[in-house]
Amino acid sequence: TFKSLGFSGLALQIGRTMVLQSSSTESFTLRVYSCKDSLREDTQRAGLVISHAGAASCLESLGKGEPLVIVINKKLMKNHQLQLANQLHKQERLFCSTLPGLLQSMDRSTLKCYPPGQPEKFSAFLSKVVGLQK
Amino acid sequence: MACVLIPVVAAGAVAVVLVLRLWIVCRSQDVTPRESLSLLVVAGSGGHTTEILRLLGSLSSAYSPRHYVIADTDKMSADKINSFELDRADRDPSTMDSRYYIHRIPRSREVQQSWLSTVLTTLHSMWLSFPLIHQVKPDLVLCNGPGTCVPICIAALLLGILGIKKVIIVYVESICRVETLSLSGKILIHLSDYFIVQWPTLKEKYPRSVYLGRIV
C-alpha cells in the first residue's frame, strides 16, 4: 500500500514485542528497530509520520512541520490521548483516524501549520511568583 | 473510660492542628525576593519528561541546583535529562553553577495498573519521597502530572505542615489534557500553589487554574 502511494521507504519503531527484519528492495526500504533514544532524525527525513497520540511524539512532529497521522492507543487511562488528538484535529493540525483508508483519501495540503509553544511566558510567570529578581 | 478518652482526644487535637497547618501552608503565598532558588523537578516518564524539559529550557540559571526525580523503571528520562543539561551547559558556559542531580523513586502507578494496587504503590513511594524531599529541601517543586508527582508533592506539603520549610508547588497540566484533568491534576489542583493549564477549556472548568497559552 505504502509503495502504491508513492512512499519510498518505511522506518518502524516496534518496541520489544515483535520480531521483524529490516529489508530493502530497489524501490522500497524497510528499516526496523525496537527502541531508539530519539526519532528526530527519522521524522525529519519522513514525508509522513504515523504515531500514537503521545504528547511528545505529537509536539515533536508538529513542531517540525511534518504531516502527522495518529492512531489512538485506547487502552491507556480513560483513553486520554484522544483529548489532545481531537483538539489538534479540530484545529486542523493533523489527521485523526482509525481507518487505513485515510492514507488514500487524505489531502496533506489542507493541514495548517502548528506554531511553537511559548515557554518564555511560563518562565516570566514563574519568576514573578517565586520572587526571583532580574 | 479516661484511658480510652485521652488518646482519642489527643489524636483529635493532632488532627485539628495538622488540618489547620495544611490550611495555613496552602494559603500562604507571600513572595520573598531572592536571587536564586533550588528546584526539584518531577520528570516522571516518557512524554511528561519531554514536556517538562521544554519548560525548563526557558528558565534562567537562577534556578539552581536542579534536582530531577524520575521513576526507577524509567531508562530513557535519565538520558534525556543528561543530554538536556549538557546542551544547556554548552549554550551558556558562563554559568559555573550547572549542578544537577537525578534521584529515583518507585513509580506510584504503572500504565494500566489497577486502582486498588495504585493506592498501595503510591503509599510505598510516599514513604520514600519524604526522606528525599527532606534531604533536598527544595524552594520550588515543579511537576506536570506523572503519577510519581503526587507523593512528592504531598511530601513537600508535609515539610510546610511540620514547619520545616514552605515549598512552593507549581503544577503544569500536560498539553494532552484538553477537556479533563489527569488523576494527578485532580488531586494536586487542591494542594499546589500554582496550577497551570494549557487549554482555555480547562481554565473555564477550573477557575483556580492559571492559563498562559500553550507553553510547551
Average pLDDT over residues B98-126: 78
| Per-residue model confidence (pLDDT) at position B49 | 86
Give A20 to chain B, closest Cα distance, Å. 23
Query: With contacts defined as CB-CB under 8 Å, which chain A residues touch B50?
Result: 55-56, 59-60
| Per-residue model confidence (pLDDT) at position A124 | 92
Average pLDDT over residues B174-201: 90
Residue in chain B lying closest to A75 (CA): B112
Indicate the residue of A77, A80, A126 with minimum beta-carbon distance to B170: A126
Tell me the CB-side half-sphere exposure of residue A81, using CA atoms within 13 A: 21
Indicate the residue of A59, A121, A126 with minimum beta-carbon distance to B213: A121
Residue in chain B lying closest to A120 (CA): B58
Query: What digits encode the pLDDT tens for the residues A70-94?
Result: 776 655 555 666 777 777 777 777 7
Q: Which residue has the higher pLDDT, B18 or B67?
A: B67
| Per-residue model confidence (pLDDT) at position B159 | 92
Query: With contacts defined as CB-CB under 8 Å, which chain A residues touch B55?
Result: 119, 122-123
CB contact under 8 A, A60 and B175: no
Indicate the residue of A37, A54, A83 with minimum beta-carbon distance to B180: A83
DSSP E strands in chain B: the ranges are: 37-44, 63-71, 100-105, 140-143, 168-172, 194-197, 210-211
Query: What digits encode the pLDDT tens for the residues A49-70?
Result: 777 767 777 777 777 777 777 7
Q: Which of B86, B107, B108, B109 is nearest to B98 (CA)?
A: B86
Query: With contacts defined as CB-CB under 8 Å, which chain A residues touch B60?
Result: 123, 127, 132
Give B196 to chain A, closest Cα distance, Å. 9
Q: What is the mean pLDDT of chain B?
A: 86
DSSP letter string over B127-183?
HHHHHHHHHH--SEEEE---TTHHHHHHHHHHHHHTTS---EEEEE--TT-SSS--H
The answer to whether residue A112 scores a pLDDT higher than 80 is no
The confidence band for B152, taking pLDDT boundaries of 50, 70 and 90, is very high
Q: Which residue has the higher pLDDT, B176 or B172?
A: B172
Cα–Cα separations (whole angstroms), residue A125 to A130, B38, B55, B120, B213: 9, 17, 12, 36, 12
CB contact under 8 A, B37 and A132: yes
Average pLDDT over residues B129-139: 93
Indicate the residue of B31, B36, B174 with minimum beta-carbon distance to A55: B174
Q: Which residue has the higher pLDDT, B205 or B106?
A: B205
Which residues of chain A approach chain B closer than 8 Å at the C-beta? 37, 53-57, 59-60, 75-78, 80-81, 83-84, 86-87, 117-123, 125-127, 129-133
The confidence band for A113, taking pLDDT boundaries of 50, 70 and 90, is confident
Cα(A130)–Cα(B142) distance, integer angstroms = 12
> Grid coordinates representing A80?
486520554
| Per-residue model confidence (pLDDT) at position A26 | 64
**Residue of A126, A127, A134 to mutate when probing chain B, most B C-beta within 10 A:** A126
Query: What digits encode the pLDDT tens for the residues A19-60?
Result: 666 666 666 677 666 666 566 667 666 777 777 767 777 777
| Per-residue model confidence (pLDDT) at position B214 | 84
Q: Are the beta carbons of B42 and B149 closer than 8 angstroms?
A: yes
In this structure, of A14-23, B1-10, B77-86, the range with the lowest mean pLDDT score is A14-23
CB contact under 8 A, B170 and A37: no
Residue in chain B lying closest to A122 (CA): B215
- All domains of chain B, ordered by start, with CATH? 37-211 (3.40.50.2000)
Q: Which of A130, A76, A70 is nearest to B35 (CA)?
A: A130
| Per-residue model confidence (pLDDT) at position A22 | 64
Q: Are the beta carbons of B144 and B41 closer than 8 angstroms?
A: no
Q: Which residue has the higher pLDDT, A123 or A28?
A: A123
The confidence band for B90, taking pLDDT boundaries of 50, 70 and 90, is confident
Average pLDDT over residues B92-111: 74
| Per-residue model confidence (pLDDT) at position A108 | 65
Residue in chain A lying closest to B76 (CA): A37
Query: With contacts defined as CB-CB under 8 Å, which chain B residues touch A133?
Result: 33-35
**Residue of A36, A39, A84 to mutate when probing chain B, most B C-beta within 10 A:** A84
Give B17 to chain A, closest Cα distance, Å. 27
| Per-residue model confidence (pLDDT) at position A99 | 54
| Per-residue model confidence (pLDDT) at position A98 | 57
